[in-house]
Amino acid sequence: MNVIEIKDLQFSYDEHQPVLKGLSLTVKEGEFLAVIGRNASGKSTLARLINGLISPLSGEITVLNIDARKKENLYEIRKNVGIVFQNPDNQMVASIVEDDVVFGPENLGIPREEIGERLEFSLKETGTAEFRESMASKLSGGQKQRVAIAGILAIKPKILILDESTSMLDPRGREEVMSVVKKLNRKEKMTVITITHYMDEVVDCDRVAVLNDGVIVKTGTPKEIFSDEKLLEATGMEPPVSMKISLALNKLGVNTPLTLDKQTLLNELLKLTKKPE
C-alpha cells in the first residue's frame, strides 16, 4: 500500500524561483526511504509539504488517502506524520525532557493515563529514560534529537520524517539517532523518510530517491543509485567510500563486485591479495 502519493507537485517561495517543478513520488507502507540531493534542491520543502506546514501551488499530495492540500485535513495528517527537524535546540517546547515528550499527546487531548503509557513507551524506544528529568539544555545534540523523536513517537504517527535531523550532530550523535530510527522502522513497522546529505546513512535504506532541481530524477535501491556514475556526476553527489573503492577498482580493470558494504569489500580485497597457490 502507498502511504504517500505525490503527483506533479509544484511549489515556489517566490514567483521567479520555483523550488519544486513537478515532483512525483510514492512512499510504500513500512519502507525506509532516503531522499537525497544537493543543497537547495528542495528536500526540506518536500518534507514541509507532506506535513502541510506549507501548501503547494499545484499538483496532488495524498497522505494515507487524505488530501494534504485541504486545510481541514491538516490536523489529521499531522497526527500521522511526525517530523524531526534539523536544529535540536529549536524544537523543544519545555525545559524538562519529560514535559517536552508529553507536549504532543497533550495537544491531542489524550487522557492522562494514556499519556503516561505513551511517555514510558517513547522514552524506552528512544533510550532516553535515563535523563527523563534532566534539563533539555544539558543534553548532547544526539540526546536532544532522540528526545525530539520521543516527542514525535508519543503522538503515535505512522510516518516519521527526518528533515536533515542528523546534520548538526557529531558522528556519535548521528549513529545514536539513526540506530533508534532503524529500530523503529524494523520493530514498529514505522514508515521512515530520511532527508539527508550523509551518504553513509543512505546505505541501509530500502529505497533512495534522488532529488535534483525540483524533480525526482531517479529512485532505486542504494546499490542501483550509487553505481550509476552518470547520475552521481550530474547531481554532484559522492557515493559512500566502499562504493567509491569498488568503482575505482573496476575502472582499473580489477574485477570486483560493486558493493556498499564495507565488510564485503574487505573480504573481496583480501581475496585479491591472496596469492594463488
Partner 1 sequence: MLKDVVFGQYYPAKSPVHRMDPRSKIVLLILYIVMIFIVKNFWGFLLTGGLLLATVFLSKVPLKSMLRSVKAIIFIILFTFIINIFFHKEDGAKILWDVWLIRNVTDKSLYYAIFMALRLLLLVLGSSILTLTTTPVSLTDGIESLLKPLSYIKFPVHELALIMSIALRFIPTLMEETERIIAAQKARGADFESGNLFKRAKALLPVLIPLITSAFRRAEELGDAMDARCYNGSKNRTKYKKLKFSLVDLFGTVLSLTVLAGVILCNLYLGATI
17, 137, 263, 273: residue in contact with partner 1 (rule CB under 8 A)? 137
Site map (CB under 8 A) of partner 1, residues 30-59, x = contact: ------------------x--x-x------
Q: Is 66 in the site for partner 1 (CB under 8 A)?
A: no
User: Which positions from 207 to 246 touch partner 1 by CB under 8 A, shown as an x/- string?
Assistant: ----------------------------------------
Binding flag, residue 13, partner 1 (CB under 8 A): no
According to CB under 8 A, which residues from 76 to 135 bind partner 1? 78-79, 81-83, 85, 87, 89-96, 99, 102-112, 115-116, 119, 135
Compute the least distance from the CB of residue 261 to partner 1, in Å.
Answer: 35
How many residues bind partner 1, per CB under 8 A? 40
* Separation of first and last alpha carbons in the chain: 54
**Cβ neighbours for 58, distance < 8 A, ≥ 6 positions apart:** 8, 9, 10
CA 216 – CA 21 distance, rounded (Å): 10
Q: What is the 3-state secondary structure (H, E, C) of 69-118?
A: CCHHHHHHHHHHEEEECCCHHHCCCCCEHHHHHCHHHHHCCCCHHHHHHH
Which residues have C-beta within 8 Å of that of residue 241, sequence separation ≥ 6? 262
Write the DSSP assignment of 125-185 as a string of letters. HHT-GGGTTSBGGGS-HHHHHHHHHHHHHTT--SEEEEESTTTTS-HHHHHHHHHHHHHHH
Q: Does 144 bind partner 1 (CB under 8 A)?
A: no
**Does the protein bind partner 1 through residue 177 (CB under 8 A)?**
no
Shortest CB 202 distance to partner 1, Å: 24
Question: Where along the sequence are the contacts to partner 1 (CB under 8 A)?
Answer: 48, 51, 53, 75, 78-79, 81-83, 85, 87, 89-96, 99, 102-112, 115-116, 119, 135-137, 151-152, 155
